[in-house]
Chains A and B, each alone.
Chain A
Amino acid sequence: MKRAGFSTKWMPILLLMPQLVIIAIFFYWPAWHAIQSSFYLQDPFGFGSTFVGLDNYTDLLGNSEYRRVAIFTLVFTVLVTFFSLAIALLLAVKADNVLRGARTYRTLLMWVYAVAPPVAGFIGLIMFDQSWGPLTRLAGFFGWDFVLGVNFNDTAAAMVLVSVWKQIPVNFIFFLSGLQSIPRSVREAALIDNRSATGRFWDVTFPLLAPTGFFLLIINITYALFDTFGIVDTLVKGEPGNNPMTLVYKVYVDGFRGNDLGGSSAQSVILMVLVLALTIFQFRLIDRRIHYT
């Protein structure tokens, strides 16, 4: 809020109106509705609903399948976040090293950012096709009988691989511009103090990159939780069955397919709380981040 602003009364209200109206109708109303219906048991055929208090929540927490999905989501998120950050960091450090061609590599590595998650999943389906998929053959070469969509672990591995592949470009771009914004003088000083490249990386570059890393950590967790929906849905071909799925996918499956509106809403609310906690965490980190720069 600037000092020298305008003081017209109706103007700002007029300017804010479109945003506020859209948010009220398509954000607050549904969010409120989700919280509300998580306390009700709804008849799947639309004949009224009964207030059941926290039953939907206790049902979920006592449900072994929900726990299984939650544990899978946790493992999946950890793997996707770790590998996409690690590979992107490695590539960014290398691209920053080479004097010529950093831009070329950036262009080559950026493409996949623009690929939609379900299309990435579709490419995964092609790569892991049962009879002729190149990656299935590669796995077969090492004696791994890869069965996408049937074997739980194999499907999970494909999900992680495709999700990591899809997320590397974003992390790469952030890491590379983080690296390139480290002042030359700092690098030269480090070069004098420490001859080994590995030592320089861990003592100087890595701490300077940590703020970017924290920020990306949150971005990646949110990505693994929510944006992988299209990948998961395509890889299991819309038939969850015994296949692995993430919490968001379960909200969709239970609510939209299974018509368990109360249970699905309760799951939504649990996810909301999770995201809320993540965001508060993120804001604190961004606060800290400002001190770095």
Chain B
Amino acid sequence: MADQTPVQTPRRSINWGAVGDHTVLILGSLFMLVPLIMVVMTTTVPDVDIIKYGPQLKIGDQFDENFEKAMFEASGFSGANTGTRMLFNSFVLGIGFALGKIVIAMMAAYAIVYFRLRFASLAFWVIFTTLLLPLEVRILPSYEVVQQLGMLNTYQGLIIPLIASATATFFFRQYFRSIPEELVEAARIDGAGPVKFFIDILVPLSKTMIAAMFIIMFVFGWNQYLWPTMITTEEDMYTLVRGIKQITQTLEGTNVPEFGRANLLAVIAILPPVAVVIFFQSWFVKGLTESDK
């Protein structure tokens, strides 16, 4: 509203309202960011300094050493859970979950929206009741099922049960329904079958939606904690987020707890999802706010 000030004023007076707005926003940003910055800084400071002075807003020279320890030295009993291994597992979980979910959801949503199906509404309800119950409430029986199927400590056991909810299906269904019907008609007149229509028209049209879903689902999968904690007991299957528990436990008992290394592992666990969200923020915001309609 800056242009509404009268033209005659010789000198623009300070707009105290705007100063107030910026003050609140800067304080808010500091509240959100300072803890992260402190943890990042701590990765560079010698562990002894932390015990003496606590995390400081300064940069030390220990980063290389802490990085070496965090990525290549194992903290567990078997020596299998190095940072590199956990990072790899996190990527398998994040990408595998996002891809699996999107493929399965797009297929199901396509079937529901574009086909005349006798039991369509039944299929719809069977699928969408899963939106109601998060994995957390059926955690034990899910564990038992995975155990009976012999899928403990496998990537399939880690990923597939997480896919068993219809969030993405719901979003794709809403999206497909907003695509003009004339497209199908035109495609049919041109002689395109269902497969051709799906691959040549629907998938290219849904590109931004797919991208937005991928970002949201990747972050969701990467950040999973409870399920990986239950399903992976072998250390070479740990993900970074699941390894946090191990990391905090190493802080107890030892003479000089390895804060630098622990913090570095936490930072590595944060980095990929944060990077994805920041780089693709317009898609991410689009996916998050538009898909709920």
**What is the bound-complex CA distance between A283 and B24, given in angstroms?**
35
- Complex interface residues of chain A between 243 and 286 (CB less than 8 A to chain B): 248, 251-252, 255-256, 261, 264-265, 268, 271-272, 275-276, 279
Question: B230 is contacted by which of A37, A177, A256, A268 (Cβ under 8 Å)?
Answer: A256
Q: Note all chain B residues with C-beta closer than 8 A to A251.
A: 136-137, 139-140
Q: Secondary structure at chain A's binding surface: helix, strand, loop or mixed?
A: helix
Question: A5 is contacted by which of B114, B141, B270 (Cβ under 8 Å)?
Answer: B114
Contacting pair A123 B35 (CB below 8 A): yes
Question: B54 is contacted by which of A16, A110, A129, A255 (Cβ under 8 Å)?
Answer: A129
Number of cross-chain contacts by CB at 8 Å: 300
Output the residue of B18, B31, B244, B269 with the most chain A CB within 10 A.
B244
Report if B12 contacts A (CB, 8 A). Answer: no
Contacting pair A248 B136 (CB below 8 A): yes
Closest to B18 in A: A98
- Complex interface residues of chain B between 262 and 293 (CB less than 8 A to chain A): 262-263, 266, 269-270, 273-274, 276-278, 281, 285, 288-289, 292-293
Query: What are the interface flags for A171-207 relative to B under an 8 Å C-beta threshold, 1 for contact and 0 otherwise?
Result: 0011001100000000000000000010000000000
Q: Note all chain A residues with C-beta closer than 8 A to B112.
A: 1, 12, 16
Besides the known contacts A23-B126, A119-B241, A226-B136, 12 further A-B residue pairs in the complex with CB atoms under 8 A apart: A12-B117, A19-B166, A91-B25, A95-B25, A111-B278, A114-B223, A114-B273, A116-B223, A125-B251, A132-B54, A173-B288, A238-B245
Show 15 residue pairs from A and B whose CB-CB distance is below 8 angstroms, ordered by the A residue.
A1-B116, A6-B188, A12-B111, A15-B107, A30-B144, A112-B36, A116-B244, A122-B262, A126-B38, A126-B263, A127-B35, A168-B32, A252-B139, A261-B140, A276-B133
What is B's interface to A at a CB cutoff of 8 Å?
A: 1-2, 17-18, 21-22, 24-25, 28-29, 31-33, 35-36, 38-39, 42, 50-55, 104-105, 107-108, 110-117, 120, 123, 126-127, 130-134, 136-146, 149, 160-161, 163-166, 169, 177, 181, 184-185, 188, 193-194, 197, 219, 222-226, 230, 241, 244-245, 247-249, 251-252, 259, 262-263, 266, 269-270, 273-274, 276-278, 281, 285, 288-289, 292-293
